[in-house]
Amino acid sequence: MIQLLLVDDEPVILEDLAQYFQHISEVEHVYTAASGQEAVGLLQRQQIDIVVTDIRMPGMSGIELCEYVDRSDTGTLCILLSGYAEFEYAQQALKTKAAAYLLKPVKKDELLLTVRQAAEALRQKREVEAASRKAQQTLRTHLLQLQAALLRELLGARKASASQLIEDMGKLDIPFAVGEQAAVILLRIENRFLDYDEHSISLFEFAIVNIAEELFGEHFHMWVCKDDNQYLALLAQPRQQPEDGGSARKLLERNVRELQSSVTQYLQGHISAAMSDFHAFPESVSKSYPKVLALLRKLPESEQSYMLRLWDQPPATPQRSLQRMYEPPTVLQLMEAGRWNDAEARLSYMMDELALSGMDTAENMSELFYYLSNAFTYMVHASGLQLSDVLEGQYGRPFHPTMFRSVRQLHEWALELLRKMEERARKGAQEHHGAFVKQVHQYIEQHLSEDVTLQAISEHVRLHPTYISAMYKQETGENLSEYIYRFRMDKAAYLLRNTNAKIYEIAAQIGYQYTPYFTKLFKSYYGVSPQEYRRASV
């Protein structure tokens, strides 16, 4: 829909054109101005698509108005109307980049066609601009991803020559200089950030990086990625290499503290940081990153908004080790025994130890994670299954400790997985029991005329007779002997109704060699003798 501005110092012409365009469906709104100055005021307040203006007006001319529109760079197009055919006016109109130059008196249908052509040109121009912006954004996104991937390779001690690194950085527009000083910073998000899903966390991380670039950008080149441990990794290189590293170090430390403060103020969350001193790039990355990573992994989750500096750390002291996971009975032993409620309680017992002050470090979380993942994997494979048979959704991803940023997330994962395994175990037991009942029934049907005693069935299914009786009763609610008796009577009744077999033959087919005994049982079950039952069925 077109936002149209008509400009003319002759009220009659202005009103006539306004009334005409108000009835054109493509025109959403018609604005009018009696002078160039009035038109400028409207252009400053409204988003106008097309301006149709007379050239000769008191004060600001139409040419000057079009020059103003061109300078404002709003994308608005101008159509000039003139009662003079002088070449000079046409020349000036071309200089203003006017969309069209029409001579008065102009026919309304001709003007409408020109407005429509200008609107179509404007639409196409905006589509091209939108596509260009999208392409630039896509290129920037891919460029940032490629930059981050290269930094992750350096963090992983990539082996490459200096010339190759310089070439790669040049292709990706990374302004770092080989041989100059650089420092490594790792950021750990904490607090309320961990209450969100991974997509929301990624948005917070994006905001944190933007704040960091704003704070550090005046004095440092920045290179950013997320490392394999879910930390934000920042590489900082001074724009102007200082004579001594101390001044750059102090400035960077101040910027990091400002970043922590800004994240708290604007995002209402906390981050902890660990940073190295300045050393020659790229050697600084491969040497400093593992040390900074180890330092941050020792920081308990419960200790937040910390600033850790690699150069002033005290000598290493032995870490407190986890004990509860190794106390018998272990989670694995409880799962093997089918004591699922006890296994869940044991899981909470271990997590409580991990949540103790000073114990909730990334190192300890990794230890407990690997312990649990080994136990779960063993249970799945011992059941003759694959992990994919039990795990679904996010739990089907490869096990790795970086899946979790907090003790709570690790506990939720382990609890969910434990319950899935319990559900699978119960389902497997039900399937097994159902197969057992089917196996017993098939044996009875196939050997009804033979020996269908409990002992015979026991030998066939290779289970103890007592266990067979108990399991059958549990699964069907009926004693096995009662089922055999009922099945024999049902089979006898069927044969009496549908065959001409003699009574003693029917008795033999269902396992009774002594006919009077069969007759007695049949009468007890149906209330009539076999002969009476047959006569009644005819």
Tell me the pLDDT of the chain averaged across its residues.
87
Give the model's pLDDT for residue 195. Answer: 87
Contact of 230 with 186, CB cutoff 8 Å: no
Structure tokens at 424: 């699978």
Give the model's pLDDT for residue 83. Answer: 74
Give the DSSP H or E segment for 181. Answer: strand 181-190
**CA triple 161-164-168, angle to 5 deg:** 140
Residue 396's pLDDT band, with cuts at 50, 70 and 90, is very low
Share of the chain above pLDDT 90, in %: 47
Three-state DSSP state, 56: coil
Give the model's pLDDT for residue 110. Answer: 92
Give the model's pLDDT for residue 333. Answer: 84
Q: Is the pTM here over 0.85, yes or no? A: no
Of 106, 196, 171, 242, the C-alpha closest to 409 is 196
Q: What is the pLDDT of residues 177-230, one digit of tens each?
A: 999 999 999 999 998 898 888 889 999 999 999 999 999 999 999 999 999 888
Q: What is the pLDDT of residues 468-520, one digit of tens each?
A: 888 888 778 889 999 899 899 999 998 998 899 999 999 999 999 999 999 99
Give the model's pLDDT for residue 176. Answer: 94
Give whole-number Cα distances, 81 to 105, 156, 401, 409, in Å: 9, 68, 72, 70
Give the model's pLDDT for residue 319. Answer: 66
Residue 451's pLDDT band, with cuts at 50, 70 and 90, is confident
DSSP string, 117-155: HHHHHHHHHHHHHHHHHHHHHHHHHHHHHHHHHHHHHHH
Give the model's pLDDT for residue 12. Answer: 92
Three-state DSSP state, 52: strand
Give whole-number Cα distances, 282 to 42, 177, 179, 249, 276, in Å: 57, 9, 7, 17, 13
DSSP annotation of 374 reads H
DSSP annotation of 298 reads T
Helices 530-537 and 480-498, axial angle in degrees (round to 10): 50
**Average pLDDT, integer, range 116-141:** 85
Helix and strand element counts for the chain (H, E)? 20, 11
Residue 90's pLDDT band, with cuts at 50, 70 and 90, is low
Contact of 40 with 68, CB cutoff 8 Å: yes
Structure tokens at 141: 């996104």
Give the DSSP H or E segment for 186. Answer: strand 181-190
Share of the chain above pLDDT 70, in %: 92
Contact of 17 with 6, CB cutoff 8 Å: yes
In whole angstroms, give the CA distance from residue 126 to residue 240: 41
Q: What is the pLDDT of residues 339-357, one digit of tens each?
A: 889 999 999 999 999 888 7
Q: Is 80 exceeded by the pLDDT of residue 136?
A: no
Q: What is the pLDDT of residues 34-60, one digit of tens each?
A: 999 999 999 999 999 999 999 888 989
Q: Which of 146-160, 260-274, 304-318 shows the highest mean pLDDT?
A: 260-274
Name the β-bridge partners of 30: 4
Of 114, 121, 143, 139, the C-alpha closest to 52 is 114
Three-state DSSP state, 205: helix
Q: Is 70 exceeded by the pLDDT of residue 17?
A: yes
Sort 392 into a burial class: Cβ within 10 Å, 0-12 / 13-18 / 19+: exposed
SS3 content of the chain, % helix, strand, coil (to 5): 60, 10, 30
Query: How many CA atoms, within 13 angstroms, populate the side-chain half-sphere of residue 356?
Result: 12
In whole angstroms, give the CA distance from residue 399 to residue 382: 18
Give the model's pLDDT for residue 433. Answer: 60
Q: What is the pLDDT of residues 405-445, one digit of tens each?
A: 889 999 998 998 898 888 877 776 555 566 778 888 888 98
Q: Is 70 exceeded by the pLDDT of residue 103?
A: yes
In whole angstroms, give the CA distance from residue 535 to residue 538: 5
Of 341, 211, 229, the C-alpha closest to 274 is 229
Q: Is 50 exceeded by the pLDDT of residue 395?
A: no
Stated length of the chain: 538
